[in-house]
Amino acid sequence: MELLLFFRDRFDLHEGKEDELETIDYIKKNVEFKGANLWILIFAIFVASVGLNVNSTAVIIGAMLISPLMGPIMGIGLAAGINDFELIKKSLKNLGIAVLISILTSTIYFSFTPLNDAQSELLARTEPTIWDVLIALFGGLAGIVAGSRKEKSNAIPGVAIATALMPPLCTAGYGLATANLFYFFGAFYLFFINSVFISLSTYLIVRFMNFPKKEFLDPKREKTVKTYITIFTILTIVPSIYLAYNIVKRTLWEKSANNFITTEMQFPRTQIINSTFHYNPDSSTIEVTLIGERINEENLEIISRKLPVFNLKNTYLNVKQSGDSGTDMNLLRSDILKDLYERNELLIKNKDQKIALLERELAEYGQTYSQVMDIASEAKINHPNLQNFSLNRGIVANLQQNRQDTLLIAYAKFRQNPNQNERKRFENWLKIRTKADSLAVIIN
């Protein structure tokens, strides 16, 4: 019993809760899109579109922090939870305006940008996965719980970043600008899934925390509104559950397909250069492109029979090999070059960095070497007793800060031991002459 009381006290959502009416008013204020809110959305869409265009994660995150898209989505869940049909209509209207403006803005940007290639950040928003559903659900739960506190936290901006509401709309705009309907519908589907599950999580918390429902003077009107709310909730939740179920099935199928390729499609003198998956509940396809020694049809048939072992029922294996009459050799060459580049890109980058470092060190050494005779001759004029002179760069281990420093080391030998003033004058002149940040002078 004490343990139960302990957990109830620890997980009590009513602790630190804002007055329900204040929370409702707080969410309602963020529902409407007009004036400054609308301009902020447009600017944020431009920023996100640029981020997707140049493949900059930091820019995309910044745009999501600016975006006010969460307002009407949470407003829909709140309205369903408190039986406020007018708020549902207002939230849906403003969400529609926001979506239309967002897609229109991103379409305009991608129609004029000179960078037309779809980068990895953009491609990641073309198809939802089960992880997107879970992020939207738990992110929405965090958002409404944080919004109901007396002390507002940064949870709602965090939810906007985690659920990534804005990038899918920008990707949908890219799909329209490039006439790629697959990108458009895939990205819009992702936005729809995120919006539905954020609204659903808001609805669940509002019901769980017993927010005061809207009161009606006319019982008949109240019954009608409740009926509309119930129908709206069912029409939203049931399809979303079905969609989430299909996403789970597709995610598990893709995992099994990857496992199948990794386990069964490994050959000693043949390499996979490309693999694509096409999921359909009734009939799915795994397409694999091979290069190297040809695999005969009998072996491919044996491999295909193992598909059910990996829970890949109703799945067809389509293997393309170099030399097949139906194989596009230009596409094959392109895939080979792409694969080689991706595999060696990091190696090339590391080599370029090493070469640049060596070139820089060599240039510094060459500069120091060429200066020795000139500096020695000038020093001889000011110090006639100077007999030998050397100048080199050395590496010093800084043990206190655990790092390496570069030090310019000068060695000077005089016929007669110079006095303190001459030593000081020689060192000061050498520092100015070499323009060294750190200099050590050894006088013999």
Q: Check pLDDT > 80 for residue 234.
A: no
Q: Check pLDDT > 60 for residue 338.
A: no
pLDDT score recorded for residue 429: 81
Give dist(CA 165, CA 48) in Å, integer. Answer: 11
pLDDT score recorded for residue 137: 79
C-alpha distances in Å from residue 181, one per residue of 126, 197, 349, 420: 10, 24, 36, 82
pLDDT score recorded for residue 322: 64
pLDDT score recorded for residue 368: 59
Q: Check pLDDT > 60 for residue 204.
A: yes
Torsional class of 382: left (φ above 0), alpha (ψ -120 to 50), beta (otherwise):
alpha
Query: Which residues on neighbouring strands pair with residue 149, listed in sequence order?
Result: 17
pLDDT score recorded for residue 427: 81
pLDDT score recorded for residue 100: 92
Instruction: Calculate Rg over the CA atoms of the chain.
Output: 34
Report, as an integer, the average pLDDT of 77-106: 87
Q: Per-residue confidence at 365, pLDDT binned at 50, 70, 90? A: low
Give dist(CA 175, CA 186) in Å, integer. Answer: 9
pLDDT score recorded for residue 328: 52
> How many C-beta atoms surround the C-beta of residue 68 within 10 A?
18
Q: Check pLDDT > 80 for residue 398.
A: no
pLDDT score recorded for residue 363: 62
Q: What is the pLDDT of residues 112-141, one digit of tens each?
A: 887 766 666 666 666 667 777 777 778 778
**CA torsion sign, 337 to 338 to 343 to 344?**
positive
> How many C-beta atoms surround the C-beta of residue 11 within 10 A?
8
Q: What is the pLDDT of residues 299-324, one digit of tens each?
A: 888 888 888 888 888 888 888 876 55
Instruction: Please give the residue that has the higher pLDDT: either 394 or 191.
Output: 191
Q: What are phi and psi of 275, to 5 degrees?
A: -145, 135
Instruction: Please give the residue that has the higher pLDDT: either 153 or 292.
Output: 292
Give dist(CA 102, CA 89) in Å, integer. Answer: 20
Question: Which token pair is 378?
Answer: 């000038």
Report, as an integer, the average pLDDT of 34-47: 85
pLDDT score recorded for residue 395: 72
pLDDT score recorded for residue 294: 82
Instruction: Please give the residue that has the higher pLDDT: either 170 or 129.
Output: 170
Give dist(CA 175, CA 111) in Å, integer. Answer: 10
Give dist(CA 159, CA 151) in Å, integer. Answer: 17
Report, as an integer, the average pLDDT of 202-210: 82
Q: Check pLDDT > 80 for residue 266.
A: yes
Sorted by sequence, the CB contacts under 8 Å of residue 204 that are 6+ apart come out as: 141
C-alpha distances in Å from residue 53, one per residue of 56, 69, 107, 112: 8, 21, 12, 12
Report, as an integer, the average pLDDT of 60-81: 81
pLDDT score recorded for residue 152: 61
Q: Per-residue confidence at 384, pLDDT binned at 50, 70, 90? A: confident
Q: Per-residue confidence at 104, pLDDT binned at 50, 70, 90? A: very high
Residue whose entry in the numeric block shows the structure tokens 């009590």: 12
Sorted by sequence, the CB contacts under 8 Å of residue 80 that are 6+ apart come out as: 88, 199, 203, 206, 229, 232, 233, 236
For all residues of the chain together, what is the average pLDDT? 77
Sorted by sequence, the CB contacts under 8 Å of residue 312 that are 6+ apart come out as: 253, 256, 257, 260, 284, 286
Q: Per-residue confidence at 419, pLDDT binned at 50, 70, 90? A: confident
Contact present, 180 and 113 (Cβ < 8 Å): no
Q: What is the pLDDT of residues 368-380, one digit of tens each?
A: 566 777 777 777 7
Report, as an integer, the average pLDDT of 327-350: 56
Instruction: Please give the residue that has the higher pLDDT: either 217 or 307.
Output: 307
Q: Distance between alpha carbon 32 and the CA centroid of its chain, in Å?
A: 29
Q: Per-residue confidence at 356, pLDDT binned at 50, 70, 90? A: low
pLDDT score recorded for residue 390: 79
Report, as an integer, the average pLDDT of 340-362: 62
C-alpha distances in Å from residue 276, one per residue of 126, 258, 261, 279, 297: 15, 10, 11, 10, 20
Q: Per-residue confidence at 175, pLDDT binned at 50, 70, 90? A: confident
Give dist(CA 382, CA 257) in Å, integer. Answer: 80
Report, as an integer, the average pLDDT of 147-173: 72
Question: Which token pair is 88?
Answer: 């549902």
State the virtual CA torsion across 22, 27, 30, 32 in degrees, nearest 10: -110
Instruction: Please give the residue that has the higher pLDDT: either 159 or 332.
Output: 159
